[in-house]
Chains A and B, each alone.
Chain A
Amino acid sequence: GETIQGLRNSLRDAIDTLSRVDSSVAVSSGGELFLRFISLTSLEYSDYSKCKEIMIERGEIFLTKVSLSRNKIAKLCHPFIRDGARILTHAYSRVVLRVLEAAVESKKRFSVYVTESQPDQAGQVFINLVFTLVNRVKALRKLNIPVTVILDAAVGYIMEKVDLVLVGAEGVVESGGIINKIGTNQIAVCAKAQNKPFYVVAESFKFVRLFPLNQQDVPDRFKYKADTLETGQNLTEEHPWIDYTSPSLITLLFTDLGVLTPSAVSDELIKLYL
């Protein structure tokens, strides 16, 4: 017969397979959350088939809520973009794009600086990244927002002109810090040095049960591309794709649970994993 335990095991396998993708932080945290609430369901209902029904139903609700979350975040965040603001952002985040759309809808004028967000690897990967970047710039240009692409190295130079920094996150860790594309930490440090607010937008399913104390503590499976991990080369010679930005550099986090200060994030995580 089928059991909850069996279901849990097969779900865990599914999550592992899904997590073998590149940039797996969000996937793995979302999967972890889903797995977590299965244990909650099984505590409430002992009948297996009933359990399964409820889970499917809740899964649907979860999906709807998650798809609404981007709009919720945009609604919370766009008042923080003033008319005439100059925004700096990093890499490609769909949530940030949605926030900018919401700001445009509320008739605000602003300009955006986007970093190239280069990897320092040549070839195939480089072309992919340029493709992503061009998509980003194209998407913004459609909204008639003046966009300038800048070198990653030019962040310190451009920071004095910028009013605020807005980035997405691949994962939000327990300390209130974020895991995001490499280069985010640098931008955060520059922003702090020049007293510019550093805002992060992320959906709540990205909250991860990690507490890195430094860059080394971030697990390798998040830092490197899946192919690199599989070939089993010496990872010290590889360039990471992800860095950790500490909570002291972040001003506010905008999530679908509300506007949070970094210290409030750990509270939210505790509430979940109580």
Chain B
Amino acid sequence: SGELMDLIRTEGQRMTAAQPSETTVGNMVRRVLKVIREEYGRLHGRSEESDQQESLHKLLTSGGLSEDFRTPYPSLRANVIEAINEMLIELEGTTDNIAMQALEHIHSNEVIMTIGYSRTVEAFLKEAARKRKFQVIVAECAPFCQGHEMAVRLSKENIETTVMSDAAIFAVMSRVNKVIIGTKTILANGALIAVSGTHTLALAAKHHSTPLIVCAPMFKLSPQFPNEEDSFHKFVSPQEVLPFTEGEILAKINVHCPVFDYVPPELITLFISNIGGNAPSYIYRLMSELYHPDDYEL
């Protein structure tokens, strides 16, 4: 199984190098590697999770320094395939699992704010709308204005929706009860990489002491730390910000169109994922359950 893991690792590196901002790919590869390690460990006859992590305990009592995955086990293949199938079933059910928790968090006559378009948040709000009456304010999230699409979909379910521009976020925040957003990635310290404009929303919410709830499935949790502040940025064509028809101005200025925003963990109140609600300070624990430390660097 050592060879299998090396194969998977190489493929994983290739895939993540192709599109670094899609961290989900890397996350899934790491999950599979962890599954293989676990199955191997189980067949090897050791007790489960106790030996997987580095710990002070392991520092003192373990004999060797690392284990090799040389011993072949015929049933390993079947076990791994079964575990992967379980993972696939879990993946398909994530949105539903998150939506199921909606009723606990949304109450009648509340004003909820969100930004941009997130399928998870859409499902979350739709599920709550079946039993409760509430209002939603959607920040349009310039320049791509995905907020418009979100508003259209929500209003189809008879949820009272208002669209407003990003500049008005702070002004309206005092009337908002909760902020519910989706995200692109969750980092290892509990921070977010989300659409541009989310940091503004988070700061406004903190200022008004409004809870900020992030709905994201567990496959978005990435074991990376925000070590280089600018390394996750992705810039796309500035056409959306300042169209090429304004050629005269374009010659004299620099125009940027960043796609993502970094939101530090202190601004977040709760993460709702398919395995339940968690505080940002608990993320490290979830990470250790999903991934093995040796796989953090693919």
Q: Which residues of B contact A252 (CB under 8 A)?
A: 189, 225
Q: Which of A33, A58, A267 contacts B285 (CB 8 A)?
A: A267
Question: Which B residues between 176 and 233 are near A, CB-CB below 8 angstroms?
Answer: 188-190, 225, 227-229
Chain B's closest residue to A66 (CB) is B59
Of the candidates B59, B225, B285, the one whose C-beta lies within 8 Å of that of A204 is B59
Q: Are B282 and A263 in contact (CB under 8 A)?
A: yes
Q: Which of B19-27, B50-58, B82-90, B248-256 lies on the face that meets chain A?
A: B50-58
Which of A40-88 touch B at CB < 8 Å? 40-41, 58, 61-62, 65, 79-80, 82
Contact of B293 among A34, A205, A258, A274 (CB under 8 A): A258
Within 261-298 of B, Cβ neighbours of A (below 8 Å) are at: 281-285, 293
Residue of B nearest to A251 (CB): B189
Smallest Cβ-Cβ distance to A40: which chain B residue: B61
Q: Is the CB of B61 within 8 A of A267?
A: no
Task: Evaluate contact between A263 and B56: CB separation under 8 angstroms.
Answer: no
**CA separation between A166 and B63, bound complex, in Å?**
33
Question: Does chain A have a CB within 8 A of B171?
Answer: no
Closest A residue, CB atoms, query B284: A264
CB within 8 Å for A204 and B284 given contacts A79-B228, A82-B228, A252-B189: no
A271 and B61 contacting across the interface, CB-CB below 8 Å: no
B55 partner, pick from A36, A79, A257, A261, beta carbons under 8 A:
A257
Q: Out of B60, B189, B281, which one reaches A37, CB within 8 Å? A: B60
Hey, which chain A residues are within 8 Å of B228, CB to CB? Answer: 79, 82
**What residues of chain B lie closer than 8 Å to A204, measured between beta carbons?**
56, 59
Say how far A92's CB is from chain B's closest CB, in angstroms: 25
Residues of A with C-beta under 8 A to B229:
82
Find chain A residues with CB under 8 A from B57 CB.
271-272, 274
Q: A260 an interface residue at 8 Å Cβ cutoff?
A: yes
A261 in contact with B60 given A82-B228, A252-B189, A271-B55 (CB within 8 Å): no
**Contact in complex: B56, A261 (CB < 8 Å):** no
| CB of A129 closer than 8 Å to a CB of B | no
Judge whether B281 and A263 touch: CB under 8 Å: yes
A37 touches B188 (CB 8 A): no
- Judge whether A65 and B59 touch: CB under 8 Å: yes
- Among A62, A79, A261, which residue has its beta carbon within 8 angstroms of that of B284? A261
- Report which of B59, B63, B282, B284 forms a contact with A260, defined as CB distance below 8 A: B284
Report the bound CA distance from A261 to B65 in whole Å: 25
Tell me whether A257 and B56 are in contact (CB under 8 A): yes
The answer to whether residues A261 and B61 also contact, given A79-B228, A268-B56 and a CB cut-off of 8 A, is no
Asked if A21 lies at the interface with its beta carbon under 8 angstroms from chain B, I say: no
CB distance from B271 to the nearest CB of A (A): 14
State A34–B63 Cα separation when bound (angstroms): 15
- Partner of B189 from the list A65, A258, A261, A274 (CB cut-off 8 Å) is A261
- Cross-chain contact of B227 among A58, A79, A207 (Cβ < 8 A): A79
| Least Cβ–Cβ distance between B278 and chain A, in angstroms | 12
Contact B56 A207 (CB under 8 A): yes
What residues of B have a CB within 8 angstroms of the CB of A205 in the complex?
56, 59
Q: Inside 8 A of B63's CB, which chain A residues have their CB?
A: 58, 61
| Cα separation A131 to B65 with both chains bound (whole Å) | 39
- For window 196-228 of A, CB contacts with B under 8 Å fall at 204-205, 207
In the complex, which residues 55-109 of chain B have their Cβ closer than 8 Å to any Cβ of chain A?
A: 55-57, 59-63, 65
Looking at the assembled complex, report how far the CB atom of B218 sits from the nearest CB atom of chain A, in whole angstroms.
18
**Residues of B contacting A267 with CB < 8 Å?**
284-285
Known: A263-B281, A263-B284. A257 touches B54 (CB 8 A): yes
Q: Which residues of B contact A (CB under 8 A)?
A: 53-57, 59-63, 65, 188-190, 225, 227-229, 281-285, 293
8 shortest interchain CB distances as A-B pairs: A272-B56, A37-B60, A263-B281, A264-B284, A271-B55, A79-B227, A80-B227, A257-B54
Given A261-B283, A274-B57, 18 additional A-B pairs, CB 8 A? A34-B60, A37-B61, A40-B61, A58-B63, A62-B59, A62-B60, A204-B56, A207-B56, A257-B56, A258-B293, A260-B284, A261-B189, A261-B281, A261-B284, A263-B281, A268-B55, A268-B56, A272-B56
Q: 13 A-B contacts, Cβ less than 8 Å apart?
A: A40-B60, A40-B61, A41-B61, A58-B61, A62-B60, A65-B59, A79-B227, A80-B225, A205-B59, A259-B225, A261-B284, A267-B284, A272-B55
Residues of A within 8 A of B (CB): 33-34, 36-37, 40-41, 58, 61-62, 65, 79-80, 82, 204-205, 207, 252, 256-261, 263-264, 267-269, 271-272, 274
